[in-house]
Amino acid sequence: MRVRLTVNGEQRHADDVWEGESLLFLLRERLGLPGSKNACEQGECGSCTVYLDGLPVCACLVAAGQAQDREVRTVEGLATGDPARGDRLDPVQEAFLAAGAVQCGFCTPGLVVAAHDLVERVPHPTDREIREALAGNLCRCTGYEAILAAVRLAARWKAGR
């Protein structure tokens, strides 16, 4: 079947989508957006987190067909313009870099989307709120302290705009 959807503000479509195919596969393999990662593909790790109609979801748990006529925003869509051409990253992305919250980086896109959602909803999150917001996102490398520091920093930057 053909699936039409809006991704990062652009109308996109893919043909010959299999009925059991995930939104994650559609994004990565058909639409050329590999930012969302395919770690567990069972809803356990959060590395595939994207916005679907403004709410964060695990893209591996959403059937591609469920995204028909809906709006998806991936980690690639958080930056303003094209970072490869020197345009600005989102403050959450900048904060992850500044705080050294990235090691292998496999978990990072999902954490960035989850943290982005938190700081958009909650201008001054407590540590408890940060931990709760990121509870569905696993990281095997960092021990989480630098990630918490990155989210605190991102919240401060966003609040200070």
- Give me the DSSP letters along 135-146: TT---SSS-SHH
Residue among 40, 79, 89, 98 that touches ligand FES (CB under 6 A): 40
Nearer CB in complex with ligand FES: 15/116: 116
Shortest distance, CB of residue 137 to ligand FES, whole angstroms? 9
**CA quadruple 54, 60, 62, 66: dihedral positive or negative?**
positive
Nearer CB in complex with ligand FES: 89/141: 141
Q: Give the residue from 42, 8, 10, 1 showing the smallest Cα distance to 24.
A: 42
Shortest distance, CB of residue 110 to ligand FES, whole angstroms? 7
Task: Please tell me whether residue 34 binds ligand FES under the rule CB under 6 A.
Answer: no
Cβ atoms 58, 48 nearer than 8 A: yes
- Chain centroid offset of residue 118 CA: 12
Task: Please tell me whether residue 140 binds ligand FES under the rule CB under 6 A.
Answer: yes
Task: Please tell me whether residue 56 binds ligand FES under the rule CB under 6 A.
Answer: no
